[in-house]
Amino acid sequence: MKKYLRILTVVLSVFLLSTPFGYAGNEDIEITIRRNNNWRLENIKISSNGDIEFNNDYTDVVGMSEDAYIKISMVSFGMRRKLYISSDDDRIVRRYFEGNKEVAFEPKGREWMKKMLPDIVRNSGLDLENRVNKVYQKKGISGFLSELEETDSDYYRSRMVKYLLKNNKLNKSELQNLLREFPYRIDSDYEVSQIYKKYNPVFISDPEVASEFFSSLKEISSNYELSQVLKSVYKLNDLSEENFTHFIEATENISSNYEKSNLMKLALKDDKLTDKQLNLILAEVDEISSDYEKSQIIKSVLKDNGLTDGNIEKIIELTESISSDYEMGQIINTIIHGEMLSQENLNEFTSLLGNISSDYTYKGILNQLIKYDELGSERFDFLIESSDNISSSYELSKFYKSLLLSGELTKKQQLKLIKKSENISSNYELASFLIVSSQRMDLDDDEIRDALLEATQEISSEYEYGKVMKAIYARDRNK
């Protein structure tokens, strides 16, 4: 949760470009700051041009280029004050106004300048890069963090952190302190992500700092911004095993199916995934609600040639949570083509098959298993029992024909197949299967012949019954 919420609006007409040597840049700027300061509404306007040099504590202007100026105007409770500082023949001229009346600069004008100028500089971006360097060199990381806290704008806070990292080499302790503070000081996910996308290599070179870095990512609530940071981390660094694990764990904070899926695909490109890391990925896949995105990740995982039996069982378990027959069928086909189905996971696979409601998809999967040698001697029994879940007479008849035409059935299996044909409720489809059976089976075998004749008794249509009987007796005449 972000902790430092302030009412502040900063409108920049022209951005100030900070320059070295304590000077504000030489481009025209106009800045308006509207804020609620202890329930007092303040409207502050700053105009500036030319190079402006401040003293070390930013309470005065000590140098200006020719024709440079800075004008500060504030309205509070109806009271208007204005400070105008300009250069004139190498002199610095300071003029102070209350309302429309000019008042002697000393002492009231100087007092107001000393009070207002540090805050104005802090929240307008004047001399920002140089000021960051001076604060850090003089007061260290603690001084920088204090200055960061006093700055109201997320935009300027973000630039301050960038300038700090750009111009200074922080030690381990300083980096840790920075990570523990700045993500909580900046409310904008965009501004935090901009820092992390550019400077993440600075934070992950040391294991302890890297741990702080990945932990701080929880402060980014935007799925898109967090995803962009993690993609940058992956692309800009050769991640160690520990950091790669942190990378995978960080995806837990992303609720978007699309963003999480894309990050999982990135992770799966790594050919050095440990079993622990793969299990972390599979755990994250379980959190994806989109059937399509979940299917895409699971199929990517299945491309790994080093999957263990435990990995396959977990994948089968994950696939059961997919409601789309099409997506589930795609995964099952990948498992079959990769020869990952075995006696060890057959029970889990059978349970998975039971979730497919489409007879067409279900039959297509069983067809692929007809010649699947890894199922061994139990293959036929598995297929014939699994076919009980096909309710369509058309699909069931087609599957039985495919099984029969495989040419590898024993007599015992043929008899069992004929018996199973009673599950075909359509007269036409049953007759179609029995006709093919009469053409492919040995009718000289009395058991086979009797079984076929008995099966014809299930046909209530005289026309279809006659077609089957004609096919059987045609074989007799052709002997």
Say what percent of the chain tops pLDDT 90: 73
Within a 13 Å sphere around the CA of 24, how many CA atoms are in the beta-carbon half? 27
Q: Given this model, what pLDDT does residue 153 score?
A: 86
The pLDDT, as a whole number, for residue 78 is 77
Residues 20 and 48 both lie in one domain = yes
* CATH at residue 132: 1.25.40
Residue 244 lies in a domain: no
Question: pLDDT for 181-207, tens place per residue?
Answer: 999 999 999 999 999 999 999 999 999
Domain for residue 93, yes or no? yes
Looking at every residue in the chain, the average pLDDT score rounds to 89
Asked whether residue 313 is domain-assigned, the answer is no
Same domain, 93 and 38: yes
Last residue of a domain, one of 109, 125, 141: 125
* 407 and 431 co-located in one domain: yes
Mean pLDDT of 224-237: 97
Q: Report pLDDT for 478.
A: 60
pLDDT of amino acid 7: 32
pLDDT at 27: 53
Residues 99-156: tens digit of each pLDDT: 999 999 999 999 999 999 998 888 888 889 999 999 999 999 999 999 999 888 899 9
Residue 141: inside a domain, yes or no?
Answer: yes
Are 79 and 100 contained in the same domain?
yes
The answer to whether residue 327 is domain-embedded is no
Domain boundary among 100, 125, 150: 125
99 lies in the same domain as 131:
no
Model pLDDT, residue 269: 86
Report if residue 425 sits inside a domain: yes
Local confidence band at 6 (pLDDT 50, 70, 90 cut-offs):
very low
What tens digit of pLDDT does each residue of 243-287 get? Answer: 999 999 999 999 999 999 999 999 998 777 888 999 999 999 999
- pLDDT: which is higher, 334 or 375: 334
If one compares 6 and 102, the residue with the highest pLDDT of the two is 102
Q: Check whether residue 121 and residue 19 sit in a common domain.
A: yes
The reply to whether 97 and 165 lie within a common domain is no
| Contacts (Cβ under 8 Å, ≥6 apart) of 127 | 18, 19, 22, 23, 24, 52, 54, 58, 121
- 317-345, pLDDT tens digit by residue? 999 999 999 999 999 999 999 889 888 88
| Residue at 363 is within a domain | no
Pair (107, 186) in one structural domain: no
pLDDT at 39: 57
40 in any annotated domain: yes
Residue 43's domain comprises 8-125
Domain final position from 77, 104, 125 = 125
Confidence of residue 470 (pLDDT cuts 50, 70, 90): very high
Instruction: Report pLDDT for 12.
Output: 38
> Which pLDDT value is given to residue 476?
63
* pLDDT at site 22: 43
- Please indicate, yes or no, whether residues 56 and 159 belong to a single structural domain of this protein: no
Does residue 475 carry a pLDDT above 50?
A: yes
Looking at the fold, whether 12 and 121 belong to one and the same domain comes out as yes
Q: 144 and 120, same structural domain?
A: no
- 136 with 226, same domain: the answer is yes
- When divided into structural domains, the chain yields a total of 3
